[in-house]
Amino acid sequence: MRRDDDEPLMDRRIVITGLGVVTSMGWELDTFWDNVTNGRSGIRRIKDAFDPEVHKCQIGAEVIGFDHTPFFENKRDAKRAERFIQFSVSASKMAATHAGLDFTAGDPERAGVFLGTGIGGLKTVEKNQQAYTEGGPGRVSPFAIPMMIGNAAGGIVAMDYDITGPNFCVTSACSTGNHAIGEAWKTIFVGDADVMIAGGSEATITELAYSGFTNMRALSLRNGEPEKASRPFDQDRDGFVMGEGAGVVVLEELEHAKKRGAPILAEVVGYGTSADAFHPTAPHPEGRGASQCMERAMNRARLNPEQISYVNAHGTSTPFGDVAETIAIKNSFGDYAKSGLQVSSTKSMTGHLLGGAGGVEMAICALALRDQIIPPTINLDHPDPECDLDFVPNTARETKVDAVLTNSFGFGGTNASLILSRFDG
């Protein structure tokens, strides 16, 4: 369906009609959501990715037993796909199916794909560097480049569905998923598309990644208690836990969704971005960029802080990051931050999926609005005195949820916040 040139763009509303996730806590949506709302951790000792024995950090939120092949039209693509591509394509197809989309019935120019990744095909880099070292240039796979580049997943989804609208890859560290979804939202808002598949993926449970992040002192070393290792806002936290997988949503212009009778899960009403301009890896200690980001999202949504029911925090379980985000939330929400706002970090269960985190957490927020449930922050046994908000400790909470804000903050000081509201028709 082509847009009528007389259609007022400012009246375009964008809704979520489909969700797809691949995580250590499941990839069937109901199973995943049941695990989240019941506070079950997906973090274990690393089993399939590599032998963790020589590594200081030996735990992760690893996806075990997932079969990606049914989600690929071209079986050669399925066989050659790097792990992050497997996750991203699969989650995209799940989201499209959940939305009931039939791309053959619409205008392919009015649909697009924004799938991001923070790091991309790192395992392919490792394997081919080893092959080069051991055997020279001739040992490097001719498929190495298309396997490692970040935009490969979006290309496969577009080819499988014959989508010819906007298509690019967002790469902004841990903000990737939120940026991809936010930019897709803007694309529909300005009239360049009616339907967008958007989200992020990551597969960095690899030896190189673990070596690098461990030597940065970023990863938790609580190897003896994997399920308790990710503990955002707890005074005993010692770093984040690596996760892998993907989260993808279908965004759709409201009238387009209504005409085809699509299920509407939530409405996306705000998007804000900012930069800390402070440090390559550390957050601004006063949460300056994060505050600015949240406030821009609320301004775009035309919502006051008191109208936000729940914040899905970035909350990675790092000593400095959790404090900085707490300060930022207090700066942005004022007195309401401590008198009514509810905040939780679902990374306590999923681990940190880096570029895939925003998409998974967007799905969580949409389901929280649908079911009027706020997921918990598990392992919050001894709250850090500097993290003094209502972080919904250990048990999900059934309560009225009208609007939610979800944060993603990345290395380089890049920030992205999104706001969803309950669809009111």
The catalytic residues are 174, 314, 352
d(CA 154, CA 114): 7
Query: Which residues, 6+ apart, have CB-to-CB distance to 151 below 8 Å?
Result: 115, 167, 168, 169
The answer to whether the beta carbons of residues 32 and 253 sit under 8 Å apart is no
d(CA 126, CA 207): 9
d(CA 380, CA 231): 6
**SS3 (DSSP) at 249:** strand
CA dihedral 102, 106, 108, 113 (to 10 degrees): -50
Can you read off the two tokens belonging to residue 288?
């300056």
DSSP character string of 102-143: -GGGS-GGGEEEEEEESS--HHHHHHHHHHHHHH-GGGS-TT
d(CA 316, CA 39): 16
CA distances from 19 to 150, 259, 334 (A): 21, 19, 33
CA distances from 54 to 46, 207, 210 (A): 12, 10, 11
d(CA 129, CA 144): 10
Beta pairing partners, 240 = 219
Can you read off the two tokens belonging to residue 239?
């770093």
Q: Return the residue matching tokens 């706002």.
A: 341
